[in-house]
Structure 1
Amino acid sequence: MFLELIGTLVAGLALAGVVMALNRLLGGRLPRWLAPVAAGCGMIGVTIASEYGWYARTRAPLPDAMQIIETVESRALYRPWTYVVPFVNRFAAIDAGSVRTNPAQPGQRLVDLYLFGRWAPVSKLPVLVDCDGFRRANLADGAEFGADGAVLNADWRQPPAGDPLIVATCEV
């Protein structure tokens, strides 16, 4: 966030400097207000480019085992251009390489779910998926396993059909 702020300020100063240099070359024929307006437009442009580029920059270095299962697009009244072209400000991914199974519970799989947000730290959440019953349980508070490998204190949720987390985990 700090580097984006510095980049935004540098872009504003650079565009103001370009306008001032152009004004000097033209013998002072440009209006005085053009330099601060150019700086402001440059700063807004860099901010917009940063918002729209965040998803691609964050997704690019992820390992191949990470499967993005859901994205959340942002629209805001104070950013009217987002109603025309929304940008991704959050997404969820599973680590397909972390899927664990138990021979005693063949229909269940344990997977690590990662939640990414534009201005938030990455969160890791272990999730138990029941492929046979099409349900899932978050194991954030810890889990107790019985002798047969079954989770004893799971808070099972029945998501709507086609839940991307369950579909992606059960396909692995």
Structure 2
Amino acid sequence: MPNIFRHTSPVRTCLKTYASYRSFKQYLAEDFNSRCGYTDCPDFWFGGKNNFHIDHFKPFSKSPKLETDYSNLVYCCSYVNILKSDDEGEYIDPCDVDFNEHFERDNDGGIIPKKTSKEATYMHSKLQLGLSRYKLIWKLDEIYNRLLKLQTEIKNPKNAELINDIRIIHSELAEEFTTYLQYLKVNQ
């Protein structure tokens, strides 16, 4: 059964102007919920905001007037930004369209383009959205969120039976961390 691609869509809210597009990074991180606009991966798993890039939705090399236009900027992971580069192909702006209409996730967190979306199919191929890193990060994030929920519930005296659930989730988390670290070692 497919999962939704993202729970909260990014919305550009910054009204400031700057001479350098890099000055917008903190606003982009907030507006994009600290997640890549294209993969929905949290910047946390990439080392935080300092390791994320700013993509120009329409490449500024081809549209120089948009270099510092906030409505043309996308907060994204370095992998996607490098692959997208100056390509002007069939892209969906993450703030203009609900990505859930174009993408979904399989049960393992893999990003799947919907067959009805030629743009999603193009992006999936060009940006290599099917890479294991995005699936693993999705799994890690899901486990992390479940851990946070359990930590809240474990403090409730009525939930003494949750100790077994915490042990199971701890085991799952350890397994996913190990899988991710092995992936990183192989791809260095």
Q: Give the TM-score normalised by structure 1.
A: 0.24
* More strand by percentage: 1
TM-score by length of 2: 0.23
Q: Which has the larger radius of gyration?
A: 1
Choose between structure 1 and 2: higher helix proportion: 2
